Amino acid sequence: MAVIYITNGFTKNTNTSHPETLAVLLINLMPDRAETERQFVSLLKNSRRDITLTFCLPKTHTLKNNARESLEKYATFDEVSSNYYDALIITGAPLDRLNFTAVDYWNEFSKIINWRKTHANQSLFICWSAYAAGEIDGIFKGQQLTKKIAGVYTTNNLIIPHSRYFTIPLRNSIDGKILAGNTEIGAVLIQNERLHSTYLTGHLEYQTDTLAQEYKRDSLAGLAPHKPNNYFDKDDIPINTWNSTANSFYRQWLDNIIATKVSTALRKE
């Protein structure tokens, strides 16, 4: 198992821990794990915070893509389940057209969602994992779609790429505070303070060409996708309009975790 250490915007080989170093567990469920790794490392480096980043996979997940490349970086959940983390991030996964119980690692995923209540101080769930975790937590009720929400959308001044076959209708929030969303694409950002959890239905980690690559992939697969909205310019060149939102969101999320960690440490002294 490899751990990536991020200090002041740079990666390094060893960790020099201090009270503000954050231990982050990232469960990577995306099909192109190597690309997703790069995306998140880039974002977390931009926060210029000191982070110990551990990559993890469910043990019961049947690997289909990138099965061996960089797999030595990954712990299984069983290997880290006795550890405690300042933050947990669970990525999206291309599973939103399946019923939850049809997912091969659904039982283990459900276990992780309950485990984090006692082993992670803050949790961030992205796209499919937000949809699934929110249902397990009883925060909201999602709804599957037959037409994909694909493109870059602005809600409550947040510019976020989306690529999903589900929505969370605004009326379906049960125990969460909706911070961003609209009637067109549903709730986009939901928080629950009781569980110290954030549910984000979009992909702020996406690079400029990620949606274009997905559009090409779906086209070649004969899925007849529509072109991602609000994304290409008049010459069909992808334009990244969400970079500022992405950096601001992750910086603020990590700052809040650090503030809580330092405050807790001071109270224990």
In the chain the domains, ranked by start, together with CATH numbers, are 3-268 (3.40.50.880)
Contact call for residues 161 and 188 (beta carbons, < 8 A): no
Between 9 and 103, the higher pLDDT residue: 103
Rounded to an integer, the average pLDDT of 150-163 is 98
Check residue 240 and give its pLDDT.
Answer: 98
Name the percent of the chain in helix, strand, coil, to the closest 5.
35, 30, 35
Confidence of residue 267 (pLDDT cuts 50, 70, 90): low
- CA distance linking residue 228 with residue 214, whole number of Å: 9
Check residue 214 and give its pLDDT.
Answer: 95
Confidence of residue 268 (pLDDT cuts 50, 70, 90): low
Q: What is the CA radius of gyration of the chain?
A: 18
Of residues 154, 170, 167, 238, the one with CA closest to residue 204: 154
Check residue 220 and give its pLDDT.
Answer: 94
pLDDT tens digit sequence for 182-203: 999 999 999 999 999 999 999 9
**Phi, psi (5° rounding) for residue 53?**
-110, 120
Q: H or E stretch including 150?
A: strand 143-155
HEC secondary structure over 193-248: CCCCEEEECCCCCCCCCHHHHHHHHHHHCCCCCCCCECCECCCCCECCCCHHHHHH
Cα dihedral sign for 140, 143, 148, 149?
Answer: negative
Check residue 159 and give its pLDDT.
Answer: 98
Rounded to an integer, the average pLDDT of 204-215 is 97
pTM score, whole prediction: 0.94
Contact call for residues 140 and 170 (beta carbons, < 8 A): no
What amino acid positions are annotated as catalytic residues? 127, 203, 205
> Chain-wide mean pLDDT for the chain?
91
DSSP state, residue 103: S
Of residues 177, 181, 168, 180, the one with CA closest to residue 195: 177
Question: Is the pLDDT at 71 greater than 70, yes or no?
Answer: no
Percent of the chain with pLDDT over 90: 78
Confidence of residue 72 (pLDDT cuts 50, 70, 90): low
Look up tokens 């990666």; give the residue: 11
Check residue 261 and give its pLDDT.
Answer: 80
Q: Which residues of 173-209 are buried (b: 16+ CB within 10 A; e: fewer)?
A: beebebbbbeeebbbbbbbbeebbbbbbbbbbbbbee
Question: Is the pLDDT at 66 greater than 60, yes or no?
Answer: no
Question: Is the pLDDT at 224 greater than 90, yes or no?
Answer: no
Tokens of 34: 């190597």
Between 266 and 229, the higher pLDDT residue: 229
pLDDT tens digit sequence for 25-63: 999 999 999 999 999 999 999 988 899 999 999 999 887
Question: Is the pLDDT at 2 greater than 80, yes or no?
Answer: no
